[in-house]
Copies of this chain bind each other. A is one copy, B any other.
Amino acid sequence: MSRRRHNRSAEKTLGTSPGTLTYVGVEIEHATKIKRIDYNATDYHIDAPTKLIACQLPVPETPYVHWIDVDGIHEPQVVAALGKQFHLHPLLLEDVLNTEQKPKIDLYDDTVVFVTLKMLHHSRERQEIEIEHVSLVLGKNYLISFQEERSKDIFDPVIERIKLSSGKTRRNGADYLLYALMDVIVDHYFLITERIGEKMDELEDEIVQERATQQTLGILYKLKRELAFIRRTVHPLRDVIATLLREESELIQHNTLPYLHDLADHVNQIIETLESYRELTSGLMDVYYSIVSNRMNSVMKTLTIFSAIFMPLTFIVGVYGMNFENMPELKTRNGYFVVWGVMVVVTIGMITYFRRRRWM
């Protein structure tokens, strides 16, 4: 969640005509990696075409599901070329490139379903959440997936499943593939929320066991930011899936619906977990504040007890430090010891008083 990352995007695009393709994310040097996977229940081909021409629009009658997995969206011309081949709307392509775009779904005339969402990793080195802008374009019998280039392709597990078995993924159409890819991403959200849950538990222990410092609060604040950020990322997904379920696009087959329902369910569960974490953070703040003010109270009591005991004593010894010529007590034989006696009595009195008020 590098804070300043998004600063340039608005200025970059200001004043350009809508639909102009500009990449606004982090700059990357390599060429875009493209994989083409054609599969059906009985067969599959995986291809890493170096030339875009290999990604030609498949003939509608092909008995395969065609998946074009584009890893890297920093070359607008690549995206533009694909857009041309598959007759995609310019606004769709703009959203593919706009890494600031929040998750959403767009239906283009019942021939294309466009879903964009965010992949979240927890980067162990940088101790922060990494965001990856992912776009999925579902057509008649093809699916194009776009992702920002990162160290590894997040869709590898799905490719593996296609390779290994002729299971559910292979037997179903491109709509099931859409679901499977979204499911991979949502599963990662669970990982993120669990990591946050663990951190919450640590913080809770620290705070409730009164080991919290000012730093703890800083971490709590950072956690709250992360929670808010994830919520903003996950929340729109609910509408995305609801739209998929409601719109009854011809591209989504009937037997994929239970899976989408299940996915909606997962998303709801994540949102709820986030919500409960958010409540917990404010509960923890309350506990923290109460501990701080209790400590203050205890500090003040200590100070008051010391003052209340030693101020009278210091006064008493001050009295007999005066240099008046006529101070009868000074000349008595036991004056000094009587004063000590008085001081002991005063001290015991004070201590008794504070004990009664339960300050000691």
Contacts and interface: CB of A to CB of B under 8 A. Distances in A.
Interface of A: 3-4, 6-7, 9-11, 13-15, 17-19, 89, 91, 94, 100-102, 104, 106, 108, 157, 161, 167-169, 179-180, 183-184, 187-188, 190-191, 193-194, 197-198, 201, 208, 210, 214, 217-218, 221, 224-225, 228-229, 232, 258-259, 261-262, 265, 268-269, 272, 276, 279-280, 283-297, 299-304, 306-308, 310-315, 317-327, 329-336, 339, 359
Nearest to A280: B225
A351 B94 CA distance: 62
A187 B16 CA distance: 10
Classify the secondary structure of A's interface with B: helix
Contacts of A229: 276
Contact of A286 (B221, B262, B317): B221
A164 B317 CA distance: 89
Contact of A297 (B157, B168, B286, B292): B292
Contacts of A332: 326
Contacts of A326: 332-336
Contact of A272 (B94, B102, B335): B102
Nearest to A288: B290
B302 A302 contact: no
Contacts of A325: 330-331, 335
Contacts of A303: 300, 303-304, 307-308
A295 to B, nearest CB: 6
Contact of A319 (B7, B225, B317): B317
B308 A318 contact: no
Contacts of A228: 276, 279-280
A320 B326 CA distance: 12
A217 B336 contact: no
Contacts of A89: 258
B104 A265 contact: yes
A303 B359 CA distance: 13
Contacts of A317: 315, 318-319, 321-322
A217 B287 contact: yes
> Lowest 9 CB-CB distances: which A-B pairs, in order?
A10-B190, A317-B318, A310-B311, A320-B322, A324-B336, A303-B304, A321-B321, A15-B157, A306-B308
B7 A194 contact: yes
Contact of A15 (B187, B214, B284, B308): B187
Given A10-B190, A310-B314, A317-B322, 4 more contacts: A4-B201, A18-B183, A306-B312, A322-B339
Identify the interface centre among A210, A221, A333: most chain B CB within 10 Å of its CB: A221
Given A18-B262, A314-B315, A287 B323 contact: no
Nearest to A281: B283
A218 B225 contact: no
Contact of A197 (B6, B293, B329): B6
Contacts of A13: 187
A198 B269 CA distance: 30
Contacts of A106: 258, 261
Contacts of A296: 293, 296-297, 300
Identify the interface centre among A11, A319, A359: most chain B CB within 10 Å of its CB: A319
